[in-house]
Structure 1
């Protein structure tokens, strides 16, 4: 896969900057309709996870729809993630289950979803051991070619430094919450240093940023929607985005971010909103 709106991973693979997030997208019909709308709008990347409980529906939808759009498996980029309940001893079973549920031959990018372990306190010192064990499993499946690239999600700078000290295969990507109010400068600098791709989730701030006066001002000046402005702000920094929606209209609108640019002044206005505000989960307490 190679396109102008892609970013390279350290594996040599090209990953689309724009992907469809599928969090809270459940039910075969809903998944099918969203995937259909996304493919029609030009999306070629889809982000799932074991905890989303939609891997099987996503796989079935893609297998049915790809031929209708003249696409092969190589034309789409699939991300999924290891559930926190499978962290550690359950990692092999969890990863193989994701491969089986999706049933697409391989997974392009597989992430450890969370640095902690379900059922353990965030301060439990078993968490680092479980992370290391999970990573070893991902490395093994990567070498086998079942996981084309491996990475992590919701890792802090400390978690990243810990991983880089011990890994045999370096992570290809870090996926974290990122939007104008959470600029993640330390993590971005670390990723740049380590050669790790930095990818955003919750680029729209769970909708809270739609009413921010600065976002509204920039959107009005550009004659674009607040969502398009927020997504453009990220991709203009070469940061991948994963907007989620079940509305065909919004899916199409969210994809219209490559035919305009934000001026330096507007980029700076949005960047100035950074106040370190997490609108999703803050993993900083996980040992």
Structure 2
């Protein structure tokens, strides 16, 4: 069983990011928060909501999630569920004696809104979510969709988007801003002209079969938190969960393959937002109170399927 007994503001893990606990008490993994480069604290574990786009499904998933201890909800304009999430939270927060400030809400700028319209896109998302602000607003992709542009024009659109996100942060529409699916080239471009605000988070695909270690090192060097999606392989992809090495480690530890995959990222100081619909899986995914031994961490790090350069 993994538990932590530390005093206030003790650094829980050694990395560029301070992972803080409160008071002298046993702290479960689901309550661990990471300090972003803005100084704000973000839960290291959250709920992904991609493909949750029916009211009853969203409501039940959030109900189970809040009951299990999830305090981060990740959405996006392209998921088409912001309004459903807003309605569900309006009902469910009082049920658990929570207020808006008790939950960390992330949403994302759609690729078709890249450019000068990014500010208006965030205003639209806030209206859908029924909130005055989000805790984190991400550019969902470095791509631009819906128009035929040259590479230089796409680069200009990304810069315009970032300027609008900086403006939104200054005006209180979002507490933090970041990016998603950015590689080192995109991040380097942004950091050369970040308009005085560095991205707080880069949300990317990340699991033992797919991890770009050079990207992680770059983000750590720049003080950007890496947040993983597809930690369990992604919708319809069972390769990870059926990987024999992962199943062996899970069996040895008395955990599920999903728990091992999430704990692997957690021990690397990488935030996770696994998707789940059932109460059982939601509870399982946030129950990460164990340690993967170093030898097994090395095995998990060695099964990367991205070819070496």
TM-score scaled by structure 1? Answer: 0.93
Q: Which residue of 1 aligns with 2:203?
A: 175
Q: For residues 210 and 249 of structure 2, what CA distance do their matches in structure 1 show?
A: 18
Select the residue among 267, 290, 297 that pairs with 1:236.
Answer: 267
Shift of 1:71: 1.0
Count of residue pairs brought into register by the alignment: 275
Unaligned ranges ≥5, structure 1: 278-287
Q: For residues 96 and 48 of structure 1, what CA distance do their matches in structure 2 show?
A: 15
Q: Which residue of 2 aligns with 1:284?
A: none
Structure scoring higher RCO (CA < 8 A, sep ≥ 6) equals: 1
The reply to whether residue 96 of structure 1 matches residue 145 of structure 2 is: no
Shift of 1:105: 1.7
Structure 1 segment 1-287 matched on structure 2, within 5 A:
3=21, 5-120=32-147, 124-167=151-194, 168-206=196-234, 207-257=238-288, 259-276=289-306
Shift of 1:11: 1.0
Which moved further from structure 2: 64-73 or 221-230? 64-73
TM-score scaled by structure 2? Answer: 0.86
User: 2:247 aligns to what SS in structure 1?
Assistant: helix
Q: For residues 148 and 68 of structure 2, what CA distance do their matches in structure 1 show?
A: 42
1:24/1:52 contact within 8 Å kept:
yes
User: 1:188 aligns to what SS in structure 2?
Assistant: helix
Q: For residues 40 and 174 of structure 1, what CA distance do their matches in structure 2 show?
A: 28
1:46/1:78 contact within 8 Å kept:
yes
CA-based RMSD of the aligned residues comes to 1.4
Q: For residues 41 and 104 of structure 2, what CA distance do their matches in structure 1 show?
A: 9
C-alpha distance 174-35 of structure 1, shift in aligned 2 (>3 A): same
1:84/1:113 contact within 8 Å kept:
yes
2:201/2:224 contact within 8 Å kept:
yes
Q: For residues 263 and 150 of structure 2, what CA distance do their matches in structure 1 show?
A: 37
Instruction: Return the structure number with greater helix share.
Output: 1
Shift of 1:208: 2.1
